[in-house]
Amino acid sequence: MSFRRLAPVEQQPATFAFSEENQRLVDQWITKYPEGRQRSAVIAALWIGQDQEGWVTKALIEEVARILDMAVMRVLEVATFYTMFNLAPVGQYLVQVCTTTPCWLRGSDDVVAACKKHIAPAPHTISADSKFSWMEVECLGACVNAPVMQIGKDFYEDLDSPTAERIFEALRRGETPKAGPQQHHRHSSEPEGGALTLNDPKLYDGGYAREVMRRSGVDTTDAEAKKPTQGASDREAPVQKPPGAAT
């Protein structure tokens, strides 16, 4: 991390106004906090503003300060504290490459090299075609699929140099490459080449459960025992696949 400053005046747009929809969102966030505590919505407001503008401009900071009735300095403090706020213009596609230890061990240096080759030699620089910019970030929280990069709101996982370059080229052509794991035929974060643990079929046919029920003296039918609870079915919306059938 380095000293974080607002972008130079030449890059700053003169004004900022929330779009109607975003203004509604900001108002919604403000109502989440008790009366007189509207300042708590500052991060949300900046985030919504960054969503709209791509980066946090001086005008945005001043607008947020005005809406939340805060000193401009206080908003600037928040904007410079959190590295998720971009203080300078970014490309249409902002590539955030994770270089924290697990990703680095799995080859994030190659992804960074691909960025340098395809986008710009230095981070925080907009590419020649003004479509991309890239930066290194700390852990994106997808270590099982390392190395990882985030483009916009999508995670691209299981990368290496060629896959990363393929993604950049596709984006450049205007396509939207499929997000998620790019290699190893993975659907999400399951083990490469199939599961090595939890392979016992008895785990899934209710065999163990029957044993437990029998011991505790509860007599339950299979169908009932397998039925997920309401909460669990809400959480696990996608259809569950049997283990080992990931390919």
Partner 1 sequence: MPTRKLIIDGKEVEAEESITLLQACEQAGAEIPRFCYHERLSVAGNCRMCLVEWVGAPKPQASCALQVKDIFPNKDGTPAKINTRSPYAQKAREGVMEFLLINHPLDCPICDQGGECDLQDQALYYGRSNFHRFNENKRAVEDKYMGPLIKTIMTRCIQCTRCVRFATEVAGVPDLGGTGRGEDLEIMTYLDKAFDSELSGNAVDLCPVGALTHKPWAFIYRPWELRKTNSIDVHDAQGANIRVDSRGGQVLRILPRVNEDVNEEWISDKSRYACDGLKNQRLDRPYVRKNGKLVPASWSEAFELIRAAARATRPERMAAVVGDLAAAEEIKALKDLMRALGVVNLECRQDGAKIGGPRPSYLFNTTIAGVEFADALLLIGCNPRWEAPVLNARIHKTWLNSAIKIANVGVPYNLTYPVEQLGGSTSVLRGITDGSHSFARVLRDARRPMLVVGPGVVARADGAAILNLAAKIAADTGMIGPAGKPAEGGWNGFNALHTAASRVAALDLGFVPGEGGRDMAGILDGAGKGEIDFVWLLGADDVDTGRLGNAFVVYQGTHGDAGAHRADVILPGAAYTEQDGIYVNFEGRVQRAERAIFPPGQAKEDWAILRAFSDVIGRRLPYESREELRRALVADVPHMANDDALPGSAGTDPAIWNNIGAAGELDERTPLASPIADFYLTNPIARASETMAECSKVYVTGAIKMAAE
Residues that bind partner 1 (CB under 8 A): 1-6, 58, 71-74, 76-77, 80-81
Cα 131 from chain centroid? 20
Contacts of residue 236, Cβ cutoff 8 Å, sequence gap at least 6: 228
* Smallest separation, CB 119 to partner 1 (Å): 25
Nearer to partner 1, 10 or 219 (CB): 10
Closest by CA position to 151, among listed 184, 186, 185, 127: 127
**Ramachandran assignment for 17, one of left (phi > 0), alpha (psi -120 to 50 degrees), beta (any other):** beta
Rounded Cα distance, 133 and 116, in Å: 10
* Smallest separation, CB 6 to partner 1 (Å): 7
* Smallest separation, CB 113 to partner 1 (Å): 27
Helix (H, G, I), strand (E, B) or coil at 214: helix
Nearer to partner 1, 74 or 172 (CB): 74
* Smallest separation, CB 7 to partner 1 (Å): 12
* Smallest separation, CB 132 to partner 1 (Å): 26
Phi and psi dihedrals of 93, rounded to 5? Answer: -105, 115
Q: Across-strand partners of 156?
A: 149, 180
* Smallest separation, CB 36 to partner 1 (Å): 12
Nearer to partner 1, 3 or 235 (CB): 3
- Other CB atoms within 10 A of residue 43 CB: 17
Nearer to partner 1, 69 or 224 (CB): 69
Phi and psi dihedrals of 107, rounded to 5? Answer: 105, 30
Nearer to partner 1, 81 or 208 (CB): 81
Nearer to partner 1, 5 or 241 (CB): 5
- Show the beta-strand stretches assigned E in the chain: 93-98, 132-137, 149-151, 154-157, 180-181
